Amino acid sequence: MKAAALLFGLLLVPSLAHAQGAVGEVPRFPDGKPDLTGVWQGGSTLRGSWDESNGGTGVGGSGRNPAAPVVLSSNDRPAGQNSAPYQDWAAKKVLESFRKRGIDDPTAQCLPGGLPRSVLVGLFPQQFVQTPTQLVILYEYMHVFRVVPINGKHPDDVLPSYMGDSVARWDGDTLVIDVIGFNDKTWLSGVGTFHSDALHVTERYRRVDKDRIDYEVTMEDPKVLTRPWTLKNSLMLREGTRLQEYICAENNLDPGRYDKLIKDGVKFER
Amino acid sequence: MASVLLLIALLHHSFGAEYDANKPVTLTGVVTAIEWTNPHTHFYLDVKDAKGKVVNWKLEGYPPSVLYRNGFKRDVTMKVGDTVTVFAWRARDGGNWAHSRELTYGDGKKMFLGPPAGTGEGAAPAVEVKP
């Protein structure tokens, strides 16, 4: 009987721990470095499976838990954080995109989301696959990837690209990714947040427990910004979620619709 | 040539450019077709208007991957021939198409087919607005 009670108690422990919000340990490689491998959701702070943590009524929510916080859409920067420090001429351009409700959004042409937008988006998961020498990140959103050498160097002849050229190094338990070599065809975070080919992005990923990575990103672009712009967010582990295909160009009807709206003189600006 | 380039440079993912949050509509009808495509799914409904005339409506929804994660089961949740009700917002051009939000199906079960009004156009400007 005692043995049965003990067994019952042992079985009970994990579920109680979960209910009380106990958090798991950070998985580590034999050399002690954190392992970021897993499927993650940006733009959220809630623990649990995709289904458990996406019950809100906002973007991507199922509506089963109306009290749950809203995840970020691909055109909203994290709430309550610094607005973008654009030079005056550039700020006017950002506001013009906002006034036109983002019809000049590069992703509306099914182009890649760029950084940090692809990381902050909540509607689609991203998968990290890490070895001791590299981190590979797969984004469901626009179906793009990054291959990030750890302790590697940028090539001397970097080609401009949508997702840039990434190299990583460890700063204690934080993986710091340095990204250069962007083209000027993506938005940073928010409607109209364009940048130049001088963009330099520094990302800091710190897995603080099993379920959560604290993410901090600093954007520098002397051609359009007055000073570095930093945003903070978290990525939440979504065990059991599998990345799906997202081939945006398959049936993108919006170009034709915008063509017609403009031809017909339908007012849509704000 | 210049105008062609301009039109190519414009585009989707913005709710408010194509749809009007002030024009909500609730449609009950029979599903006539489902397009399981990216970047948006589409659902077609035959809906009887006030005079009894049947009008075919086109409804835009989440991409397939998002519906799948939200529990939408292809060929189960909604099939051609089913009668369903959809809450949506109408297109600005006044046509018979709309941005879908809430689906009511089966014996009153509900789920979201698309995001809230305003998605994708930015809730607030990314820069401070100077007076």
Q: Of A64-78, A133-147, B82-96, which gets the smallest average pLDDT? A: A64-78
Say yes or no for a CB contact (<8 Å) between B13 and A108: yes
User: B14 or A204: whose pLDDT is higher?
Assistant: A204
Please tell me which residue of chain B has the smallest CA distance to A104.
Answer: B10
What is the domain extent for residue A198? Answer: 38-260
Q: Note the ipTM here.
A: 0.87
Can you give the pLDDT at residue A8? 45
The tens digit of pLDDT for each residue in A58-81 reads 888 998 888 887 776 767 777 778
Residues of A in contact with B130 (CB under 8 A): 91
Can you give the pLDDT at residue B131? 64
Say yes or no for a CB contact (<8 Å) between A104 and B37: no
Residue A126: inside a domain: yes
Domain ranges of chain B: 24-112
B115 contact A CB<8A: yes
B18 contact A CB<8A: yes
Q: How far apart are CA B84 and CA B105, in angstroms?
A: 5
Can you give the pLDDT at residue B51? 93
Residue A31: inside a domain: no
Can you give the pLDDT at residue B8? 29
Can you give the pLDDT at residue A21? 55
Give me the residue from B37, B92, B127 closest to A268, CB to CB: B92
Question: What is the domain class of B24-112 according to CATH?
Answer: mainly beta
User: A14 or A153: whose pLDDT is higher?
Assistant: A153
Can you give the pLDDT at residue A19? 42
Q: Of A56-60, A110-114, A198-202, which gets the smallest average pLDDT? A: A56-60
Mutate to test the interface with B, among A53, A75, A243 (most CBs of B within 10 A): A75
Average of per-residue pLDDT across A131-147? 97
Say yes or no for a CB contact (<8 Å) between A258 and B38: no
pTM for this model (two decimals): 0.90
The tens digit of pLDDT for each residue in A85-98 reads 999 999 999 999 99
Average of per-residue pLDDT across A95-109? 92
Can you give the pLDDT at residue B124? 84
Element (H, E) at B18: helix B15-18
Residues of B in contact with A251 (CB under 8 A): 35, 37-40
Q: Band the pLDDT of B2: cuts 50, 70, 90.
A: very low
Mutate to test the interface with B, among A244, A247, A264, A267 (most CBs of B within 10 A): A244
Residues of A in contact with B92 (CB under 8 A): 261, 266-268
Give me the residue from B9, B10, B126 closest to A193, CB to CB: B126
Cis peptide before B39 (omega within 30 of 0): yes
pLDDT at A6 over 80: no
Can you give the pLDDT at residue B120? 84
Total tally of structural domains belonging to chain A: 1
Say yes or no for a CB contact (<8 Å) between B71 and A257: no
Q: Which two tokens stand for residue A130?
A: 């890490």
Residue from A223, A190, A187, A200 nearest A89 by CA: A223
Element (H, E) at B2: helix B2-8
The tens digit of pLDDT for each residue in B8-60 reads 233 346 888 899 999 999 999 999 999 999 999 999 999 998 899 999 999 99
